[in-house]
A = this chain, B = another copy of it.
């Protein structure tokens, strides 16, 4: 694929994360990426298509980052369910942490059923699916229920880290509750 296209998506992701989608203009993206306007519009028909491509790429990249780190931090499925919140803490402490891009996107695009919303919904579905598979591998009976509970905790910690700026505490509180829930589901 084109290196210009990749540069555009990379730049767009940074600016969308920091300043939001509506507040980030095409010209700003072009200036930061060092790409001409015509090149952008040869790769993407509209700004919305660029947003969509950026979100789709971030979906893949982020889940890859997340799973790779979970698997590096712990070996057993049960330990990995807990490690999710260690990875979250490391994520929150990055200096370019601006919350979850998919949550932020839904805040700006409220119309249900649109492509942008569906990508965000799918990302959350896949994160839930990942935690459910870990729970199943750990031999937990109510794997789906536990995954929903842990997903809720993860969302809560992301938003608390973003809004209340208590990043370490948000992750640690979520992890403490997660431990309680995993122990309970295992008994």
Contact = CB atoms under 8 A, between A and B. Distances in A.
Interface of A: 18-20, 22-23, 98-99, 102-104, 106-110, 112, 120-121, 124-125, 145, 148-149, 151-160, 162-165, 169-170, 173-174, 176-177, 180-181, 184
A71 to B, nearest CB: 24
Residues of A contacting B: mostly: helix
Contacts of A102: 163
Contact of A163 (B19, B103, B156, B163): B103
Contact of A177 (B103, B173, B177): B177
A158 B103 CA distance: 11
B124 A152 contact: no
Q: Tell me how many chains of this kind the complex includes.
A: 2
10 contacts: A99-B106, A106-B162, A145-B173, A148-B169, A149-B177, A152-B156, A152-B177, A155-B156, A155-B159, A180-B181
A103 B160 CA distance: 9
A20 B19 contact: no
Contact of A112 (B110, B158, B165): B165
B160 A152 contact: yes
A109 B99 CA distance: 11
A156 B169 CA distance: 15
